[in-house]
Structure 1
Amino acid sequence: MAEPIEKEISVPSPGKVAIPVLLTSPPTGVKHSGFALLLGPGAGGDEKTALLTAVADEVARQGHFCARYRAKVPNLGFRVSVCMRVMEHLFHPTKGIHPQKGCFLGGHSMGTRVAGTVAAQLAGGDTESEPAAAKKAPAAKGKKATVAPAKKRASSTTASVDSNFPADFVPGLVLYSYPLHTADNTKALRDQILLDIPSTTATLFVSGLKDNMCQPSIFAKVFKEMKSTPREVVQVTDADHGLGFGSSKPAQAKKEALAEAISEWTVAFMDEAISQRSEEGGSSMKTTAAGKKGGAGVGEVTKKKADLKKEADEWTVAVSTVA
């Protein structure tokens, strides 16, 4: 099969510096699906991160466009505006240079928070990036200070999304290493973004069980409370926040093999979400993140364990699905 076509482009942003983007197009001769994937990097990464590159290549091979944007400023509101501008310029159904029927959103770490925020706001909801702390209001003389109710943060942490996209333009999210909390504070949860993801938006999580920014027991509670359906999480034994296993040569090979598997899971998830979207009164059969068919009914939770082998390496994944 011919290889995907990768091109560096600059997306103009009125009044601001142009946004560097890597656009990966399906190989010549491969039929385009009409859907794209837009990926955002983590706070310390960029559009050339190995995992995002691997995913982009595999997604494009299967007929979907994939774009990866650069965003160096670690500010959620800024990154939301970057994501929106890139999606509008490239994939808007009537104005984009590569118009699409829909666009999946995702990325790694901070890129996942951006994706969730955009999805919620496009669907007409509202979301916040962090839990807003209650603040004491100034007290008048002779009166006790009162505690002001917590308010959702303004544009310093979030950006309002232009509503000129169809409300269902984002059919699904692929979230790699969602940072549910910081490494040193498990109480300040970034759960509101996940809770605000619309029920009509499918969501795939890939997380390492040694991720110090997403404690499994805490994530399980948030996952259960989410509205998004179907939603699925693949938790990889021994993987860390970077979805790696250490710095040794065998660990690096294992990380590359995992990136390949994540790419395959992402394509399976996208294809199933697209298929379900096009069906009227479709079947309850769905594709799990491991790419196998299952018959989970609506609201039923299935838990599976599977050993995956890539070359000489193997790891265990636990797949939980809510359909």
Structure 2
Amino acid sequence: MTDELDRLPDAEPVKDPGLPEHQYRPTDVDPAQERRAERQISAMFTVAMLLLVGFCVAYIMIDKDQVFLGWSAMNFALGSTLGGAMLLMGVGIIQWAKKLMGDHEMVEMRHPSASSQEDRAAVLEDLNAGISESGFGRRPMIRNSLFGALGFLGLPAIIMLRDLGPLPDGEQRETVWKKGMRVVNDVSGTPIKPSDLQVGQLVNAEPAIMYETDEEGEPLLHGTELLQAKSKAAVIVVRMRPEDVTPSKGRENWGIDGILCYSKICTHVGCPISLYEQQTHHVLCPCHQSTFDLADNGRVTFGPAHRPLPQLPLALDSEGYIVAVSDFPEIVAPSYPELARDQKKLDNKS
């Protein structure tokens, strides 16, 4: 059979495949119907753009705790606007194809071997004809409204990028540590006294506010706010012999009998660190092996990090528990280009 087809490349296996006579659509024969369909499709794309703008407005303006008919008002608004926009764009494209694009029946010949150059040229010609029949060039109203709707479709994605995390400016550069806040064990939540720590010991800790509640017994921090606070305020508390500590000028009173407190956030890309070597007083970041000397103000001794670990000044409260003297004087964050400038401003203020 293959040999026969090769010898008769122009033969048609079926002269009449049984296709019914072509039926013209109302928009093919009535210019008024054609213009009406074009306006309807363009209106769908335009309304889709308005709904996408409405998505952005709802995301910004509606409170996340607001309720509508028993549902979250924000979720209802976001789902309705984005879903409606996608629906209208899809229906508009379908109507464009069904009512205005060319719909003539085509017969495609099959052949086991590669197509000839003539066949390839014919395919390209058919594609160009299809593009011409689609009306992209002749229907600017539909084309422009579709491109506009597709462009507006990027707005929700841009607006939702805000949920990736807090912006690195203003209050976001601060942590929840403040004067008099107790340092507690991050596993048990119990306050720490100097007698609880032995020389050479390192403890993972956090501020007591993580466990504090209001008058009604509700946590002061919860949900996203709690996670953000934990990510910035986590610390390591280490005890070494006082004679091994070499504090820089102005930090002589930041420790308590060899007890020092540093941020747990690596200054390279923000990985949590706690791999401690007692003999050298070095702590290692497991991600990229940045190494910091805790006995020497958190100085970088190895690796890609360029800034020392931020140190938290400590004191004792009236009950003998370890507390913070203030927030971190340094910015707790991974390094980025603007950090040196911002740290300089912070140093000038202090």
What is the TM-score with the length of structure 1 in the denominator?
Answer: 0.26
Structure with greater proportional helix content = 2
Which has the larger Rg? 2
Structure with greater proportional strand content = 1
What is the TM-score with the length of structure 2 in the denominator?
Answer: 0.24
